[in-house]
Amino acid sequence: MTLELKRITKSYGAKKALSGFSFAAESGSATVLLGRNGAGKTTVLKIATGALAPDSGEILIDGKPLDRNTVKLGNIPDERELAPRLKVSEVLSGMAKLKGIPARRALESAACLLRRMDAEQCLYQKLESLSKGNQKKVMLALALADDPDILTLDEPFVGLDPINQSLLKNMIEERVKAGKTVIFSSQQMPPFEEVCSNICILRNGESVLQGTLSEIKKSYPRDLLRIVPESCAESLALKLRAMPQAAVVRQEGPAVLVRLLSPSCKADVLAAAVDFGIDSFSMGEPSLAQIFMEAAGAM
């Protein structure tokens, strides 16, 4: 099954959120949408599951208009659409009724998911009484309760501790292996690189880079020099920025990353770094964080 969004546009008043956005996701895959704040990620996810109507464009399944009666769509509900004074079980029963699934089955499924996240007790508590972390777990359980064919998650790792981030990654992997389509947004690089084979980077409501992570990395030239000085990375970065051999210089923690104009420039740049002492250096393909910063307009 292939989900396609073709030439999607969406505006909120005078603000254009999406401008001719196109995107495709296959069943049995996990795709992450990356972009800076306001790039259009949340709007894409809402349109993909019918929570929001586009101004124009098509939403297709295997080349035909999406029929929401035959494809189960799941997304994290907006907290503002839920009744905070109701118990989670009551909210879940109401959502099950709207989706036409037995409330008992939905409750059992949600209880199982919450148990895995050590939060089963939340099922019979009011939404407003839960911590932010437990609210996120409940939202995930609500989205997954009816085992959707297409699942969209907006910043799912935010608010989860490392243990629950690992559990969520396992859940995503399980759904991918079961042939489901998972699409989510994130601004945190490490949590999803192990589970996502595809990425789509947005900038100003348009897709600027799409494909598998391995293909995208291979498309970038191996012209990135990473230098870890023994001291004062900031001063080294300042010196290298003045060199004509360096196209881009950026500091990343204790390291200085240098995009060389050509491989032959490496010796000159390293010679300039000797004064600061060189703890280590390496040449290699860019990290996803570096690709994101360049494609999203942050470099």
Helix/strand/coil for 220 = coil
Residue at 267: amino acid letter: A
pLDDT per residue as tens, the chain (299 positions): 999 999 999 999 999 999 999 999 999 999 999 988 889 999 999 999 888 899 999 999 999 998 888 888 888 766 666 778 889 888 888 878 877 788 888 888 888 888 988 888 988 999 889 888 888 888 888 888 888 999 998 888 877 888 888 888 888 899 999 999 999 888 766 666 777 888 999 999 999 999 888 888 877 767 788 889 988 888 988 888 888 888 778 888 888 888 888 878 888 989 988 888 888 888 777 777 778 877 877 54
- Distance CA(162)–CA(168), nearest Å, equals 10
- CA torsion angle for 77, 78, 81, 82 (degrees, to 10)? 60
Please list the residues that pair with 29 across neighbouring strands: 181
User: How many residues does the structure list for the chain?
Assistant: 299
Q: In the prediction, which pLDDT does 191 show?
A: 64
Name the strands in the sheet holding 278-284, side by side, starting at the edge strand that comes first in the sequence: 246-252, 255-260, 224-229, 278-284
**Buried b vs exposed e over 224-248: b needs ≥16 C-beta within 10 Å?**
bbbbbbeeebeebbebbeeeebbeb
Three-state SS sequence of 157-207: CCCCCHHHHHHHHHHHHHHHHCCCEEEEECCCCHHHCCCCCEEEEEECCEE
What whole-number distance in Å separates Cα of residue 22 and Cα of residue 6?
4
Query: To 10 degrees, the CA torsion angle through 217, 222, 228, 232?
Result: -100
- For the chain, list the domains and their CATH numbers: 2-217 (3.40.50.300), 220-295 (3.30.70.920)
In whole angstroms, what is the distance from residue 168 CA to residue 166 CA? Answer: 5
Distance, in Å, from the CA atom of 254 to the CA atom of 73, rounded to the nearest integer, reads 44
CA distance 112 to 119: 10
